[in-house]
Structure 1
Amino acid sequence: MDTPGNPPRVTWHTTESPAGGSYFTSIAAYLIRVGAEPQVIYDPVTDQLGQFGPLTSSGRALKNDGARRTNREGKVNIQVEVLGKAASPWTKGFDPAAKPNYRKLIAAARAHGVPDVWPAGQPAATASAATSRNRTTWQSKGGHFGHCHVPGNDHWDPGAIDTSIVPGKAASGTDDDGGSSATKPSSATYTVKKGDTLSAIAAAHKTTVAALVKLNSLKDADKLTVGQRLKISGATATTPAKPSAQPLEPFPGASFFHGGRHSPIVTAMGRRLVAEGCGKYATGPGPNWTNKDKASYAAYQRKLGYTGTAADGIPGKASWDALKVPKS
């Protein structure tokens, strides 16, 4: 991209062809043949979704605006060719709830930071109305645009599509596949810096240690390397819990947990492990660190996604912070 410091956007096109499965492959082949590929082609009838290249790379479906390469505008410029005609907006009668691939496409745009707005307004309803191609808006605003909004271009597609559907709004309590969920996707990646902990990274990105462990296949969440890149996109963020009225016990260090340790911290930890469904106690828990505490903590580590020797039953800072042990 020529201007990766500019906001991310999606640019919507129509193929000016009929929609339906029989056209999907032939239109895709045509776009390749004439060198006018977007990143994505979508059929609203069959919910078929095709991708020509990475969403972070340039498409080829726009004309330049003089020396300005509009295909390469912004952090991303995800261009979508929708099978259909501008004169007959494809959103009429379109139900996103019945189109899982469409929802995934919108989720991908959000994951790249594209906001759910139309900075240049709703796409034009007719060719004669497609006169607003403001360069400042195009270059400085992130969100969704029609081909009709892009300076240097003369097409008026995608027509007067319904902007309550495209992109719609991220649903509260519903995941991107339409299922009921208390989670939502977070976006991008994160580069580990000196002093970072996984729990701090999770909190900053409104996700959980367990989600990051699973997404990145981490064997030991307490051993992060400076410069390590963590996937954040696709992690799930639960609705933040209300802060506990009771302060939390800070991590006492792994060396704290050994045979002979007697402390109310061990009791508080054990009670939290039981509350998480990981207690392996026949009686208790109590203040003495025992093999039952170790087995219970190992079960909790596995619940977080730790595998192999990483689930050794000895608390580390990331898992301890996630457990939220109340101060004794």
Structure 2
Amino acid sequence: MTEYHVAIDHLASPDPDTPQQRVETTYLGFVDQAHVDQVKAIAKLKSTPRVLKEHPHIEGAFVVLRDDGDLDVYVPVDASEYRVYEPDPGPKYDTTMPTIEADGPPPVPMPTVTGPGANDEMGVDLPRGATTGPAYISGVVKFGDQVIGGAMDHPENPPRAVWHTTESPQGAGYFTSVAAYLIRIGSEPQVIYDPASDSLGQFGPLTQSARALQNDGARRTNREGRVCIQVEVLGKASSPWTKGFDPAAKPNFRKLLAAARAHGVPDVWPAGKPLATAAAVAKATRSRTVWQGQGGHFGHGNVPGNSHWDPGAIDTDIVPGKVVVETKPTSPSTPKPTPAQYQPFPGSNFFHAGRHSPIITAMGRRLVAVGCGRYSTGPGPNWTNADRESYRAWQKKLGYTGADADGYPGAKSWAALKIPRVS
């Protein structure tokens, strides 16, 4: 009969005044197969607060999630070693530094908006790195050593967020035991979130890669885009966690969405809304063109090279929802005339090499917002081939083909883009 090593993983801060939570392992010796069979039988009972999960990389090994935050670990004595940092290695860096620097232009100041989910509620830690968004969300629990990944392979591609589910119960105790599990198997996202307690944690900076996705052949999906913010939400894909979820009562959830927006992640689902069943996801196309070329929110089941179907049919009116911007109402007795809301179409002859106009900048910003940006340095006032390629992506998104998708704006596609009027 097989014998198993037994250990307990604890997440304990060396300093109670800091949010850093490091993993401590207590080895308890070994047990026989009969003991393991009993452990598995107990974990199957619906009345027990124990949840069994097989180790995805070590044959025969498994862990037991506990509602007190600890993780029980069982590994066959003859199991081969598993190296945590494979197959997605990346450079480590000094976590004592106050910010994570990267080559590139100076950071762009974040826009100031107010209301639920807005930047003034995010409370981000400054200074920031070379992107517009924060490396860390203020107040998060920092799990592990914060060195899960490295630089992005394709920072020229649009920013995105990927949503996973842990396939576990919710609650503050499971929040820590699931975090310990993800560290042990080397599959950490940047962010872990518990909808029940509104607990928010990070395993690494948002500005570097995570390890929660499988590679798509030689293409490292964890390192796709300017950022690829991955979020493991405590819950099960078969029972969407957004049901009965009220973002207004969850300030940490709103901080998370605000952080994604600060990095430029558009409030769209380029591959469509997350599907409700594993069978539906299996029939769907995991488009490399959409994944690599469009920014926005994706489910784990949308990513090429991956086999999981989570997060289930979560409510896209909640994830990501919309930023609420507070405005001061004008007095009904003194109404003020306002210009038309959107920029009128300037005509087909407007768009040519050498054209310089703030209208082109406004157009480019809207193309980025709807997930069609094809810019390497960001939209600007000069009409360039990047503008044409971005507009071509927008025309194709509207269903245009052939000569109708030549990248030059027309009146109908321009009106559909809804570009704010340039003052």
Partner residue, 1:152: 305
Please show how residues 5-16 of structure 1 align to structure 2 within 5 Å. 5-16=156-167
Q: State the distance in 1 between where 2:171 and 2:241 align.
A: 12
Structure 2 residue identity aligned to 1:124: L
2:189 is the alignment partner of 1:38: yes
Report the CA distance between 1:132 and its aligned residue: 2.5
Aligned residue type for 2:292 = Q
Aligned to 2:274, what secondary structure does the other structure show?
coil
Task: Measure the CA separation in 2 of the matches of 1:151 and 1:90.
Answer: 24
Relative to the length of structure 2, the TM-score reads: 0.41
Rounded Cα–Cα distance in structure 2 between residues aligned with 1:137 and 1:173: 34
1:153-168 alignment to 2 at 5 Å?
153-168=306-321
Larger radius of gyration: 1
Query: Which residue matches 2:278?
Result: 127
Whole-angstrom distance in 1 between the partners of 2:307 and 2:168? 18
Is 1:19–2:170 an aligned residue pair?
yes
Is the partner of 2:252 in helix, strand or coil? Answer: helix
Match of 1:66 among 180, 205, 217: 217
CA-CA distance at 1:103 after TM superposition: 0.1
Name the counterpart of 1:88: 239
Superposed CA offset, 1:98-146 (max 9, x none): 0000000000000000000000000110001112211100000000000
Q: Distance in 1 between matches of 2:255 and 2:190?
A: 14
In structure 1, distance between residues paired with 2:183 and 2:207: 18
CA distance in structure 2 between the partners assigned to 1:154 and 1:129 by the alignment: 12
User: Per-residue deviation at 1:22?
Assistant: 1.4
**SS of equivalent to 1:50:** strand
More strand by share: 2
- Does structure 1 residue 141 correspond to structure 2 residue 270? no
Q: Which runs of 5+ in 2 are unaligned?
A: 1-151, 328-361, 363-422
**What do you get for the CA RMSD once the two structures are aligned?**
1.8
- Unpaired runs of 5+ residues, structure 1, are 175-203, 205-242, 244-328
Of Structure 1 and Structure 2, which has the larger fraction of its residues in helix?
A: 1
Cα distance in structure 1, aligned partners of 2:170 and 2:310: 15
Identity of aligned residues (%): 77
SS of residue paired to 1:81: strand
Structure 1 counterpart of 2:276, one-letter code: A
Mapped to 2, the partners of 1:73 and 1:36 lie a distance apart of 16
Aligned-partner residue type, residue 199 of structure 2: Q
- Helix, strand or coil at the partner of 2:253: helix
Query: Equivalences for 1:131-210 in 2 at 5 Å?
Result: 131-173=284-326
Secondary structure, counterpart of 1:12 in structure 2: strand
What stretches of structure 1 move > 3 A for 4+ residues in a row? none
